[in-house]
Amino acid sequence: MTFTRRTILRGGLAMGAMTALPRLSFAAQTLEMGSARLDTLSDGNLVLPIGFVTDNPEAKPILEKYGITGDSVEPPCNVTLYRDGTNTVLFDVGSGNDFMPSAGKLMEAMDALEVAPDDVTHVVFTHGHPDHLWGVLDDFDEPFFANAQHMMGKDEFEYWLNPETLDTIDDGRKTFAAGALRRLEILEDQIDTFGDGAEILPGIMAQMTPGHTPGHMSFHIKNGNTQAFIIGDAIVNHYLAFAAPGMEAGSDQNPELGAKTRVALLDQLATDKLPIIGYHLPEGGLGRVERDGDAYRYVPEV
């Protein structure tokens, strides 16, 4: 496998008196997988209160070790693009224009790779949170990836499509539920669903990783002798989730189940030594898991 890290310029040039400097850039990564290629594409970043990470005071030394001392965090958002010569697959689609001004930048990243929305043959969702789903429709509520087959885990799809979810989800996520319901109602006849363990496309296996959401899915990709694992938000950061995987996370809808899933998944990934792609991991989101005593550490491929 060959890893490539690149910095893509975004937003043109800011002209100074003596020189032209790039106005904004983001890190991205490429993993060559035999005859296929996997790229991470930045959708920008989120700005979240620290409570979305944890409100457990025992986390403070770990957070301080990573320089997190304020009351907010700004996780990156890494969409995965997989191309095998036949299929052009997006795993998640970013936030679109309706969630946060710091996110919704996927089209700029796709432009940098000269991939058009109409080139995408499949859109596969890890789960239905805004930063993964809301970019699926354009400003006219039409599918942004008009030629793509859309796919979501059956449990996840049914959860967000159920009108009762809006009444049972916690108050801080009611907008998540309303936004998912509106989009999935529009796409209902165009989405194929699948279960745990399904081979959704050649060499792409679904693995249920619940807790962050009820039907969250991760994906194991194999091409020839190469493999990679897309974790979505089953592991949601590179610090606390690795150093204290059993600690409940504020971003998980079911924190107890999320921690149980995370502990098992990290053990699996450290044992199998697979490259991983994390939606909110740094440096483009591509790296690997290593054991660190009774816990783990994230090692980015840079």
Confidence at residue 20, expressed as pLDDT on a 0 to 100 scale: 32
Round to whole Å and give the CA distance between 46 and 188. Answer: 27
* Helix (H), strand (E) counts: the chain: 8, 17
Q: Are 302 and 281 in contact (CB under 8 A)?
A: no
DSSP letters, 10-73, are: EEEEEE-SS-EEEEEEEEEEEEEETTEEEEEEEEEE--EEGGGT---GGGHHHHHHTT--SSEE
pLDDT at position 174 is 96
Beta-bridge mates of residue 134: none
Q: 94, exposed or middle or buried, with CB in 10 Å at 0-12, 13-18, 19+?
A: buried
Tens-level pLDDT at each residue, the chain (302 residues): 555 555 444 443 332 222 232 333 455 789 999 999 999 999 999 999 999 999 999 999 999 999 999 999 999 999 999 999 999 999 999 999 999 999 999 999 999 999 999 999 999 999 999 999 999 999 999 999 999 999 999 999 999 999 999 999 999 999 999 999 999 999 999 999 999 999 999 999 999 999 999 999 999 999 999 999 999 999 999 999 999 999 999 999 999 999 999 999 999 999 999 999 999 999 999 999 999 999 999 999 86
Ramachandran region, residue 7 (left: φ > 0; alpha: ψ -120 to 50; beta: rest): beta
Please state, in angstroms and rounded to a whole number, the distance separating the CA atoms of residues 122 and 248.
33
Q: Which pLDDT does position 28 carry in this prediction?
A: 77
pTM for this predicted structure: 0.91
pLDDT at 301: 86
Return the closest-CA partner of residue 81 out of 29, 44, 133.
Answer: 29
Give 202-205's long-range contacts (Cβ < 8 A, gap of 24+).
202/84, 202/86, 202/87, 203/36, 203/84, 204/82, 204/89, 204/124
Is residue 297 within 8 Å of 88, Cβ to Cβ?
no
CA distance 192 to 190: 7
